[in-house]
Amino acid sequence: MGRFLLAAGVVLADTALLAAGHHGLPVWAVPAYALTVALVIAAGSRVPLAALAAALLLAAVTGTSQALLLWAAYQAGSKTRSRPVIALAAAGALAALGAQAATRHPDARMPTGLVATYVVFVALPMASGCYLAQHRRVLLGLQEQNRRLRQGGEAVAEQERLRIARDMHDALGHRLTLVSIQAAALEVTDLPAPHRRAITQLAAAARSAVDDLQTCVGSLRSRDPEPAQPPIAAQIDALARGFRSAGMRVALEERGDPGLLPGPAAQAAYRMAEEGLTNAAKHAPGQPVTVHIEWEPDTLLLSVTNPAPPRPAPAGRRPPAAGPGAGAGGAPSLGGAPSLGGEPGPGERHGLRGLAERMAAAGGLLDHRRSGGQFRLAAMLPAVAVPPASDKARPPAWRPARAGRPGRPARLGLAVAALMFVVLPAVILAGVR
């Protein structure tokens, strides 16, 4: 629509210039000229060089047609890609300039204004059209190259996801399924009540692990968006209940107004709480564990704290035994498991390293340290504040885009406009004087 309005403006402008500069014209001359200008504009999109030649001829005959020259020269520059053709168009414009200067302006002062007219209304629009057309072609080429690179990256990522899914299903999945089957077989054996409860919890945990693995493998194989998850506090609460059913003393504390976590941040927070509770169950069995959730306007602070076991005794000295296999608080301990209160073992180092990488990918930070007889695993993750209920249905207020620095096309347009409306009148006035 804007293109048609601009074309109509060119027709009206040149027709008005002709009527104002030539008195005594026949009645039919003005509409005939307007029709001719319209036909030249229409031909410019298909045969730009012919349209430029017609515009030069009209300008030579009438002495006006500046708006048509602008249009035709720009179309010729933007539609033509061959350098020889552009050189031919420039040679034709120079020939028209020479012919018009020789036939219509014998006075030595007038060719100055004529040359300025051709520079501003022919040379500059043609050069601007060539430049902007080349600029668009470069941008389109870069966009196509970026699209191909994205497609290649997505194909590589898809192959890697499928490989990881196969490895997880074939290796870890089979082993977890075997553990689940063996635990189910032990459930039906004649065992004492405490052992039966422990086996029941073990079987439930194994089945849950198998389900989680299948979900993870399915998400790796599928590119569909993941279903909506409950709030992170509810997920950690369910996780804490599972550890409580296994005999741990887990307290959950939450402060502040709950916010929203992006998908990667929510997954990182859940895995951090899971890692902290698992390490506490391994290295401080029977001790109380506190999971603390604190919401700030744009941040989630999450920590898991438990009493740190005593550091390993120096070489040659053995701590007093509290009984075979006893851990902190007299509860059974996993024999040989390194304590996070001292130097983390290989398993803990790998777990904490992977957790730190997951936090960094989600834009968060991870910290773990022993202080004051407590071991604390803490994380900080970016969150989004939940708007008040009254603002949820309110559409966002429109804000004008911040003005940035003008690009090359805009600067070029400003330069051409300055030459048209400042330099050209000055040159013409100087030539007239």
| Gap between the Cα atoms of 252 and 154, Å rounded | 41
Query: What would the DSSP string read from start to end of 60-115?
Result: HHHS--HHHHHHHHHHHHHH---HHHHHHHHHHHHHHHHHHHHHH--STTHHHHHH
Q: Specify whether 302 is located in the same domain as 358.
A: yes
Q: pLDDT in tens for each of the 433 residues of the chain? A: 667 787 888 888 878 877 777 777 787 888 888 888 888 888 877 888 888 888 888 877 777 777 888 888 888 888 777 777 777 777 777 777 666 666 654 554 456 667 777 777 788 888 888 888 888 889 888 988 888 888 888 888 888 888 888 777 777 877 787 787 788 778 778 878 888 788 888 888 888 888 888 778 777 776 655 556 688 999 999 989 888 887 889 999 999 988 888 888 898 999 999 889 988 888 888 899 999 999 998 899 999 999 987 766 555 554 444 333 333 333 333 333 334 444 455 556 677 888 888 899 889 999 999 888 899 999 999 988 766 555 444 444 434 444 444 455 555 555 555 555 455 445 444 544 4
Q: Specify whether 256 is located in the same domain as 373.
A: yes
Q: Specify whether 57 is located in the same domain as 100.
A: yes
Q: Specify whether 27 is located in the same domain as 70.
A: yes
Cβ proximity of 56 and 69 under 8 Å: yes
285 contact partners, CB below 8 Å, separation of at least 6: 248, 327, 328, 329, 331, 332, 333, 334
Q: Specify whether 417 is located in the same domain as 363.
A: no
- The pTM (predicted TM-score) of the whole model is 0.43
Within-domain flag for 236: yes
48: left (phi over 0), alpha (psi -120 to 50) or beta: alpha
| Gap between the Cα atoms of 6 and 43, Å rounded | 15
Query: What would the DSSP string read from start to end of 327-390?
Result: -GGG-B--TTPPPTTSS--HHHHHHHHHHHHHHHHTT-EEEEEEETTEEEEEEEEE-BPPPPHH
- For position 19, what pLDDT does the model report? 78
Within-domain flag for 198: no
SS3 286: coil
The first and second tokens of residue 91, run together, are 């040679």
Number of folded domains that form the chain: 2
Q: Specify whether 133 is located in the same domain as 68.
A: yes
Domain encompassing residue 64: 2-141+408-432
Q: Specify whether 10 is located in the same domain as 127.
A: yes
Q: Specify whether 44 is located in the same domain as 95.
A: yes
Nearest Cα to Cα of residue 289 among 250, 316, 336, 325: 250
Q: Specify whether 422 is located in the same domain as 364.
A: no
Within-domain flag for 321: no
Within-domain flag for 193: no
- For position 236, what pLDDT does the model report? 92
Q: Specify whether 361 is located in the same domain as 413.
A: no
Q: Specify whether 365 is located in the same domain as 427.
A: no
Q: Specify whether 377 is located in the same domain as 258.
A: yes
Other C-beta atoms within 10 Å of 206: how many? Answer: 19
Within-domain flag for 102: yes
Strand order from edge to edge, sheet including 249-255: 249-255, 288-296, 299-307, 374-382, 365-371
Packing angle between helix 263-283 and helix 232-245, nearest 10 degrees? 20
Within-domain flag for 225: no
Bridge partners, 307 (sequence order): 374
Within-domain flag for 285: yes
CATH number, domain with residue 259: 3.30.565.10
Nearest Cα to Cα of residue 233 among 393, 387, 386: 386
373: left (phi over 0), alpha (psi -120 to 50) or beta: left
- For position 20, what pLDDT does the model report? 78
Cβ proximity of 306 and 288 under 8 Å: yes
Burial of 179 (0-12, 13-18, 19+ CB in 10 A): middle
Within-domain flag for 393: no
